[in-house]
Every structure is written in structure tokens, then in C-alpha cells.
Amino acid sequence: MSRYRTLIAVFVSVVLVIVAGAAVTGLIMADERADGSVNTSQWQFDTVATDGAEDGGETVMDSNASTNTVVVHVGTAAQSGGTLLNGVPLQRTGQAITTGSPAGTERAVGPLVSTLVENGHEVTFYEQSTTGGSFSNSGGLSETLTDADAFVTTAPTVLSDEDRKTVATFASEGGRVFVGADPGQARGVVDIGSQRGIYQEIGYLYDVANNDQNFLSVFVEPTGSTPLTEGIDRVVFRGAAPIAQSGEEPALTTAGDAQLTTTQRTAQFGVAAVDGNMAVVGDTSFVAPENAYRADNNVLIGNIADFLVSGSVSENPFQQSGDTGISPPETPTAGPQPPTGGGT
């Protein structure tokens, strides 16, 4: 009798397992369509991926200005080694895909340089050398900029204190200046742009809801009409820092509610400022070859090229100001002069 009871108990257990399995299957198949197919749209990448940007377009210049000389500074490979966000290296100089431009290599600004050269302008690279723990260059940056029309740096903090002072003077004398400033370049931005109220906040931006398939790859949109924003719908920055200007609206802002790592504040952050002949953008990744044709990044690069060759710098910018990287030669003190008119 006990044997039969055992068999009955096993049979009941099996039935319960089958019933439970059928119930689960019913829940899974509840979204079955009328034609017998199962709706698996939730498994499709399109329905869960963020709104990625598209590639395409060419980098063009509208300006037909005569030949300008543009000096470009990108640091050196030894100085850069990778951008840091909160101590985490986002990229290194050998990577194919980066979340920030590989500072210290000419490749990082290749699309901008090639655009300028293709349109008949001259480009010179300014590279500091290290001597006795300090940066030096034959003649210094002031001598290099004496015959230049514009200056570009993607590593402002790497510049020496004297060179940053020289850049500010160059801008005050009409020279065009573009500063690409990844997170961690706050000191360089302040030294160059403080006279115009331009500064960089500490930290970097991310957006988990509105991005180019990576929370660090934030979308950026123009806020109005500036030389940098003409023809732009949106661009992609892959390692953006907040850029602001006292009393002025930013030229570009994050497209959605981004967050700042240092404060966790959620807002629409400015990431670029333009003041007369100076422009500062809180990112350099957009000009790197692998990102130059993402969204409207190519349009932004073309606008920057136009901006650089549209200025009018003073003929002797470093001889008209006492607050410069170099000092004008001293005039000898005049000694006793002979009397005029033939008198004795």
C-alpha cells in the first residue's frame, strides 16, 4: 500500500511541475501575434540603444581670405600620455578610438590642419622642449607669433606661464586664438581667458539619456549665432568640460540635462565661449580623425578654420604692450646734446 502511495505522490508532483511550466510559458508567449509570430522587439538593438549620430559630410571653409599663418600647439607625446577624468585615463596616444583627443600628437588636429592647408594657409607647429625642468623654445612663443595671424592650442595647461601670458597678449592685439580644453585644463583656460571672463569648471560631463551610444559622448547644440555655430544642428563631444563666460550666454550647450561629475549637478551646461577674436571649447575629441565626421563635427571644424583666418592682428603685437612675453629693447639714455643754431 505504501508503494502505491509513493507512486501517487510522484505522479502529483510531476503534474504540478507541468502545470507550473505551462503557466510560465503562457506568460512568455502572451505577446504572441495573430499570425503566430512572437513579438521580440524588446530584444532589438534599435529599441534600447540611445539616439546615435550619423556620419557624413565634408569639412569646408567659406572664407576666401588671403594666406594666413596659423601656429598650432598640441603639447608633446611625453607631456600628454592620455587625458584624465577624475584620475581615470580616457585614452592614450596609440588608441584607434578615444574619448578625448590624443594631446601631444599632430594627428589630434589633423582634420583642422589639412582644411587650413588645402585652402592656402600656412600652419606652423609650436613645440616646447624641456630644459632643466622648465619649458623652453628657441625665441619663445612670442617670437613665433610675431609674424602669425592665429594661434591654436589643445593643451593650454601644458604651456608655460609665460606662454599663456603671451597668448592673452596676442589676442588683445587682434590675433585669433582658439583653445581646445579637455577636462583638467582649467588653469590654462583661466590664464588665457580670464581677461574676457572665460573659465572652465572642474570635472567632466556625462549624459545617460541623451548621448551618442556612450554616456561620455554627449550631444551639443548651438545657443545662438556665433562664428563657431553657423550651420550646426548638433555635434558630438566625447569628453566634455563645462566652459562659461561671465555675463554672457555660452556658444554651445549640452543638448539635454547632463551631469557634472564633481557636483552631480544636473543641468544644461555651456561647453564653448566666443568673445571677439577668442574662442574656447571644452573638448578636443571632435577634431580627431575618428570623430571629425560624426554628426556636424565637420561643420564645426570648418567654422573654426574660418574663424582663425578672419582676424586682423597688430603689426607688432608684442611691442605695443608692456604686459607681454618679451620686453622691447631699452632706449639708451641721451647724453649732453650740442647746442642748436651754431651757438656755443
Task: Render pLDDT for 331-343 as a digit per residue (tens, 0 to 9).
Answer: 444 444 444 444 4
4, 5, 15, 236 from 10: Cα distances, Å = 10, 9, 9, 63
| Single-letter amino acid code for the residue at 301 | I
Q: Residues 239-278: pLDDT tens digits?
A: 999 999 999 999 999 998 899 999 999 999 999 999 999 9
Long-range pairs for 90-97: beta carbons < 8 A, 24 or more residues apart: 90/216, 90/239, 96/290, 97/290
Global pTM reads 0.71
Q: Residues 68-98: pLDDT tens digits?
A: 999 999 975 544 444 444 334 444 333 333 4
Q: Is the dihedral of CA 45, 48, 49, 54 positive or negative?
A: positive
Could you tell me the pLDDT band of residue 290, with boundaries at 50, 70 and 90?
very high
Q: Report if residue 174 sits inside a domain.
A: yes
Closest CA to 180 of 113, 231, 114, 128: 113
Q: Report if residue 224 sits inside a domain.
A: yes
Q: Report if residue 1 sits inside a domain.
A: no
Q: Compare 21 and 102 and report the one with higher pLDDT.
A: 21
For the chain, give percent helix, strand, coil, nearest 5. 30, 20, 50
Could you tell me the pLDDT band of residue 65, with boundaries at 50, 70 and 90?
confident
Long-range pairs for 252-255: beta carbons < 8 A, 24 or more residues apart: 252/220, 252/221, 252/222, 252/223, 252/228, 252/281, 253/220, 253/221, 253/223, 254/205, 254/207, 254/218, 254/219, 254/220, 254/221, 255/207, 255/210, 255/218, 255/219, 255/220, 255/221
Tell me the three state secondary structure of residue 36. Answer: coil
What's residue 236's pLDDT?
96
Q: Report if residue 47 sits inside a domain.
A: no
Q: Report if residue 55 sits inside a domain.
A: no
What's residue 88's pLDDT?
40
Look up residue 30 and give its DSSP letter: G
User: Which residues lie across from 270 on neighbouring strands?
Assistant: 253
Q: In terms of residues, how long is the chain? A: 344
CB 262 within 8 A of CB 221: no
Q: Is the pLDDT of residue 42 over 80?
A: no
What's residue 21's pLDDT?
53
Indicate the number of domains in the chain.
1
Q: Residues 12-34: pLDDT tens digits?
A: 565 554 545 555 455 444 444 45
| Single-letter amino acid code for the residue at 27 | L
How far, in Å, CA of 261 to CA of 233, rounded? Answer: 26
Q: Report if residue 342 sits inside a domain.
A: no
Q: Report if residue 26 sits inside a domain.
A: no
Q: Residues 118-139: pLDDT tens digits?
A: 999 999 999 875 443 334 444 6
Domain hosting residue 265, numbered range? 69-82+94-308
Q: Report if residue 214 sits inside a domain.
A: yes
Query: From the DSSP assignment, how many helices (H) and strands (E) are in the chain?
Result: 8, 18
Longest dimension (CA), the chain: 152
CATH of the domain at 216: 3.40.50.880
| Chain centroid to CA 332 | 48
223, 300, 311 from 232: Cα distances, Å = 10, 7, 22
Q: Is the pLDDT of residue 105 over 90?
A: no
